[in-house]
């Protein structure tokens, strides 16, 4: 369902806090994450949007975080798909759960490509404000992308395969792509910008991420990589597990009752 756009205000900087400003970052940007309806597609040339649109702009004065590490991790093979089930992670958080055909020397070639794409997207956000993470539904399958506001530059982050969808237990690739987009967005909010999560807060994943971000902020009144690591270590085992767990498939809608004769 389309919702009117809303903005997340940037919290004030605690008194006395000074943040180093890395080279290449603009002087006066802000961090804004908000949803907009599909009707804003005209603002981004050539893109068809489906439910999720996130504007990311750097706030160099309010964060002192290094780029988060992106990695992949092999998962237990439950025989659901051919190839390797793999989790793509941003720091300690699982953002994508994919199938990798293990083609090529050393295997996990697809996973490495996705990791490299996210690393490139993070670097773009570090160097230039005003990027959009969104879902492009203009092709045969939905694609999670990062693009400039005017659509002149575009980076494909991930395109779900039929095996990815099967691994999720779902049948709708848009559902899977949106889930991935929300998890990636909130992971970047916390680990790259020091902001609380927004799009996953009604899930155990988002609640654990919120607890970690608030704990890290409370330690020194400012987010740091060390504070985030310490806050993660203080999460309960179930909360840590929630950060790498993916939701069970939603139950199908009940069949309509048969009309009485």
Where residue 145 falls among pLDDT bands split at 50, 70, 90? very high
Q: In the predicted model, what is the mean pLDDT of the chain?
A: 75
What's the CA gap between 53 and 214, in Å, rounded? 25
pLDDT at 17: 32
Q: What is the pLDDT of residue 55?
A: 57
pLDDT at 36 over 60: no
Q: List residues bridging with 129 in a β-sheet.
A: none
CA distance 211 to 213: 6
High-pLDDT (> 90) share of the chain, %: 43
Q: For position 234, what pLDDT does the model report? A: 96
Query: Which distant-in-sequence residues (6+ apart) come within 8 Å of 192 by Cβ?
Result: 63, 65, 67, 68, 122, 125, 126
* Region class of 20: left (phi > 0), else alpha (psi between -120 and 50), else beta: beta
| SS3 category, 242 | helix
- Identify the residue with better confidence: 174 or 49: 174
Mean pLDDT of 10-30: 33
What is the tens place of the pLDDT at every residue in 65-112? 899 999 999 988 877 888 889 999 999 999 999 998 875 556 688 999
Q: Which of 180, 183, 209, 225 is nearest to 68 (CA)?
A: 225
pLDDT of residue 129: 63
Confidence of residue 3 (pLDDT cuts 50, 70, 90): very low
pLDDT of 1 reads 40
pLDDT for res 40: 31
Whether 16 shows a pLDDT value over 80: the answer reads no
- Of the segments 45-54, 70-79, 233-242, which one has the largest average pLDDT value? 233-242
The model's confidence at residue 18, banded by pLDDT at 50, 70 and 90, is very low
Phi/psi of residue 16, nearest 5 degrees: 80, 0
pLDDT for the residue 219: 84
Q: Where are the alpha helices (DSSP H) in 21-151?
A: 109-127
Q: What's the CA gap between 91 and 54, in Å, rounded?
A: 20
Give the pLDDT band (50/70/90) at residue 229. Answer: very high
pLDDT at 133: 85
At 74, is the secondary structure helix, strand, or coil?
Answer: strand
pLDDT above 70 coverage of the chain, percent: 68
Q: What is the pLDDT of residues 154-172, one digit of tens each?
A: 899 999 999 999 888 888 9
Rounded CA-CA distance 56/47 in Å is 17
Taking each helix axis from N to C terminus, what angle separates 109-127 and 173-191, rounded to the nearest 10 degrees? Answer: 50
**d(C-alpha 43, C-alpha 152), whole Å:** 12
pLDDT at residue 187 tops 50? yes
- Whether residue 5 is predicted with pLDDT greater than 60 in this model: the reply is no
Cα-Cα-Cα-Cα torsion 229, 232, 234, 238, nearest 10 degrees, comes to: -160
């Amino acid at each position: 369902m389309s919702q009117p756009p809303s903005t997340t205000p940037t919290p004030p900087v605690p008194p006395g806090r000074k943040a180093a400003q890395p080279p290449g970052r603009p002087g006066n940007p802000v961090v804004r994450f908000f949803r907009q309806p599909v009707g804003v597609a005209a603002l981004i040339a050539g893109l068809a949007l489906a439910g999720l649109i996130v504007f990311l702009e750097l706030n160099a004065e309010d964060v002192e975080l290094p780029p988060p590490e992106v990695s992949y991790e092999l998962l237990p093979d439950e025989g659901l798909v051919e190839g390797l089930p793999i989790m793509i992670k941003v720091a300690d958080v699982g953002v994508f759960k994919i199938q990798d055909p293990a083609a090529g020397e050393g295997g996990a070639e697809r996973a490495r490509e996705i990791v490299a794409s996210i690393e490139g997207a993070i670097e773009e956000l570090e160097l230039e404000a005003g990027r959009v993470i969104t879902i492009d539904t203009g092709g045969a399958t939905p694609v999670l992308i990062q693009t400039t506001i005017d659509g002149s530059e575009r980076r494909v982050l991930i395109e779900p395969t039929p095996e990815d969808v099967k691994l999720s237990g779902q049948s709708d690739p848009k559902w899977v792509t949106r889930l991935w987009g929300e998890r990636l967005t909130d992971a970047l909010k916390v680990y790259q910008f020091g902001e609380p999560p927004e799009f996953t807060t009604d899930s155990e994943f988002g609640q654990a991420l919120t607890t970690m971000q608030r704990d890290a902020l409370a330690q020194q009144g400012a987010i740091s990589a060390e504070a985030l690591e310490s806050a993660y270590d203080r999460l309960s085992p179930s909360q840590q597990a929630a950060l790498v767990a993916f939701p069970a498939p939603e139950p199908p809608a009940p069949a309509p009752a048969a009309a009485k004769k």
